[in-house]
Structure 1
């Protein structure tokens, strides 16, 4: 139900008085924008209205509320780290796209981790040495070894956890053959390690910052579950990294890479036709939290020239569906733009996102509560 509706339609769907609608808007529960046809009037988010109607229909039954919370539903964990509101992503109240215009990942980490001073991503020397194992094996091995060696996260001071977290970011980067170099920002080290020149380092910075955090997604939730047990920070990151491997999350970039390769080999029309005729979502397009388009993707795409195949794919899918590309598409196109190999988009995704996982692990540890939901049993009757 993505889109925008008039005030009259919003009141009709909600069955409330204008004052109630305005109260929803003031509390951030319903997004608004000026009506393009008449800027003196406002339009209201159809998705936000539908969410309010759905919550009212479910009522206050605990079981219904709990079930709805699992899939894009009711908020279930209090967090001060990030949120998506009115089609924009915010890091501790600051627009992520605005931050990406100038901030480094180190500066964003300081913001998300509430560090009093600069954050520096440095790890043990030699971690980025040549290694014949696959990138994924190196990454898993690095995080697993760190998890096995580290103490529990509970009962440790925030500054100690922040220092450990900064080293973990550097260790994951080292698994991607990005060395720890004192005094050099991570995006610059990535550009040098991957033999990128010109303005490529700045595009890498944009990508890392825009991927640093994205509210309570699957990997962040897995990270928080691990942190709620008091697990070491590295174990919490490993939980998030494991979740990121799924094709419905971080490895969605692999589906976009395959789509682009098939389009190059066959044709754009032939490749997207099966999706259009069956109503399936085209990989790399659309996001439930951004009915009007992913602002992270838009910010990246407008700053570098799309490769021909990605430009043609975007034009064809948008023309056929009206659905804009998401950040997975943008990361894959960015990697193609600079001639980087397959899998690079995933590496950029995870190098940025580890900062957010660490923020969630630290916040959850500070809250000191175990995440332990109950299952709604639907199996055979229990014995008396």
Structure 2
């Protein structure tokens, strides 16, 4: 068993505040356990702390740079789709939060795809059992029979892409037809116009987020000439991870626990055991996720959940991220159980396709090198 050290020792060795330690834990970079001699305290794995310290001290050696390029410290793929400036998200230079005030998903798709007109996400198919099984089954079948993206005109690819987004929306429960996506979801989930506006806001805020794991996966597929359904499937399967696009499911489970046990009991358990609170903190937004702020301001939260968010932020120093806002939206309005992922996946399908289309212009297969750390090969005579 490795050695374990206290919070004070971790802060001293890394030269950071407790809030940063919570962020390291939430991102899986630092393992935590309860102190056997005092369950109100947490202990942290010394080996993880040493590894974090080495990373901080690493210079600009080629090997360090190459490793960081893949694992998040230094993005390396040029993109004109989205970026962050002073902790704000921008789509092609336009503030995403401001766009969410009035733009539709169709408007943002036209912007990101550089399309001549807003795409038509209509779809006439009626899904009997909507959800992620229907979505992934449909995408898998299309990926198995799809045509390569090589040698095809951009407008033709745009037509195929808009059809894919429409099918994804239907698979997650949007009503068939030609209305904008947020209205189709509201109709499919039997929600009034005010909720449809919230769905529109949420989806616009979720369309893209620079070079995420899912965007990278979609780009890798696109670089090989794979079909658009295959590119989208690559991105969507990556998006489905609980540390990425399905994180709101963990938050919703936390909200359910708060409703059953009360916010004080839940907070006491998490803080005493060092278990991070799902949905709080984001390494790109140390002072708070503007997407969450924009969406939460439009939702009249249940009193228990509102108190929980306020107390959690006060005790940890971490602000709620967009996963909290999405879970709050689904919980408060009684949307289907998998609605949070459905909204996220449908909106992000626009961004994943934008990354796939942009990657086609590079004309080069993405092929990182492995850095071998296994046993030395045996010599043969």
Partner of 1:359: 354
Normalised by the length of structure 1, the TM-score is 0.82
**Do the aligned partners of 1:293 and 1:323 also contact (CA within 8 Å) in 2?**
yes
Q: Which has the higher contact order (CA 8 A, sep 6+)?
A: 2
Inter-partner Cα distance in structure 2 for 1:173 and 1:383: 54
Aligned to 2:291: 296
Match among 128, 131, 153 for residue 130 of structure 1: 128
Q: How many residues align?
A: 328
C-alpha distance in 2 between matches for 1:272 and 1:221: 35
In structure 1, runs of 5+ residues without a counterpart are 1-12, 14-53
1:199 to 194, 215, 222: 194
Q: Is the 8 A contact 1:130 1:177 kept in 2?
A: no
TM-score by length of 2: 0.82
| 1:116-139 CA distance string (max 9 Å, x none) | 21211123x3x22323xx612101
Q: Secondary structure at the match of 1:199?
A: helix
Q: Larger deviation: 224-233 or 148-157?
A: 148-157
RMSD value over aligned CA atoms? Answer: 1.9
Q: In the alignment, does 2:77 pair up with 1:81?
A: no
Please state how far the C-alpha of 1:179 moved relative to its aligned partner: 3.2
Superposed CA offset, 1:174-228 (max 9, x none): 111213412x111111111110013111101001100000011111111111111
**Is it true that 1:239 corresponds to 2:234 in the alignment?**
yes
2:90 paired with 1:90 = yes
Query: Tell me, what secondary structure is at the counterpart of 2:73?
Result: coil
Match of 2:154 in 1: 158
Runs of 4 or more consecutive aligned structure 1 residues displaced over 3 Å after TM superposition: 54-60
Unaligned stretches of 5+ in structure 2? 1-14, 16-53
Q: Distance in 1 between matches of 2:60 and 2:324?
A: 39
Of the three residues 137, 140, 155, the one matched with 1:144 is 140
- Structure 1 counterpart of 2:303: 308
Contact 1:121-1:180 at 8 Å conserved across structures? no
Residue 345 (structure 1) shift? 0.9
- Post-superposition offset of 1:274: 3.1
- Deviation for aligned residue 1:56: 9.8
* 3-state secondary structure, aligned to 2:361: helix
SS in structure 2 of the partner of residue 214 of structure 1 = coil
3-state DSSP of counterpart to 2:193 = coil
Shifted more, 139-148 versus 88-97: the winner is 139-148
- SS for the counterpart of 2:238 is helix
Matches within 5 A, 1:312-351: 312-351=307-346
Residue-by-residue CA offset, 1:296-345 (whole Å, 9 max, x unaligned):
00000011211233212201101211211000010010112211132211
Q: Distance in 2 between matches of 1:309 and 1:344?
A: 22
Could you tell me which residue of structure 2 aligns to residue 172 of structure 1?
Answer: 168
Instruction: Please give the alpha-carbon distance, in whole angstroms, between the structure 2 residues aligned to 1:362 and 1:381.
Output: 41
Aligned to 1:285: 280
1:6: which partner in 2? none
- Partner SS state of residue 83, structure 2: strand
